[in-house]
């Protein structure tokens, strides 16, 4: 599909294309078990009143979870992210998002499945202002 502008605020989506919007919708239907578990904890402002979006299109990427208010991206990494090529790609993606003023925190799927309370505490800590 060609490019299509959505009514989006730059703060929440940057410039994206219809291709990423469609891809994000598809990803929402194909969640991993770790994504399902974390989404249950985040959805509906369940975590400290924070509003998150899942599989959120942002410029040339799709963010696993995004809190617009805090410009916070939460990324989940499966075992493929341990591969050297993927690790380099993840680092490049994190830098790309950081350059746009977004904070990125990454968690292994295993962390979500085995120690969700610790993950949630770390997410809350990330949203607190630092001196």
Q: How many CA atoms lie within 13 A of 109 on its CB side?
A: 13
User: How is the chain split into domains, by residue range?
Assistant: 32-126
The whole-angstrom distance between residue 101's C-alpha and the CA centroid of its chain comes to 14
Cα three-residue angle 104-114-127, rounded to 5 degrees? 30
- 131 residues of the chain, pLDDT tens digit each: 344 344 444 455 567 766 666 656 566 667 889 999 999 999 999 999 999 999 898 988 889 999 999 999 999 987 555 566 667 888 899 999 999 999 999 999 999 999 999 999 999 999 988 76
pLDDT score of 8: 43
Q: How far apart are CA 62 and CA 93, in angstroms?
A: 10
CATH number of 32-126: 3.40.960.10
- What pTM did the predictor assign? 0.78
pLDDT score of 103: 96
Which tokens belong to 45? 């402002």
The whole-angstrom distance between residue 14's C-alpha and the CA centroid of its chain comes to 14
pLDDT score of 78: 77
pLDDT score of 84: 63
């Amino acid at each position: 599909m060609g490019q299509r502008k959505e009514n989006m605020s730059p703060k929440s989506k940057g410039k994206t294309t219809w291709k990423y919007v469609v891809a994000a919708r598809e990803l929402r239907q194909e969640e991993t078990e770790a994504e399902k578990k974390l989404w249950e904890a985040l959805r509906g402002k369940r975590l400290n009143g924070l509003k998150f979006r899942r599989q959120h299109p942002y410029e040339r990427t799709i963010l696993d979870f995004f809190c617009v208010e805090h410009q916070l991206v939460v990324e989940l990494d499966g075992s493929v992210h341990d591969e050297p090529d993927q690790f380099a790609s993840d680092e490049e993606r994190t830098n790309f998002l950081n350059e746009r003023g977004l904070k990125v925190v990454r968690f292994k799927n295993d962390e979500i499945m085995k120690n969700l309370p610790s993950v949630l505490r770390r997410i809350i800590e990330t949203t607190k202002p630092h001196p």
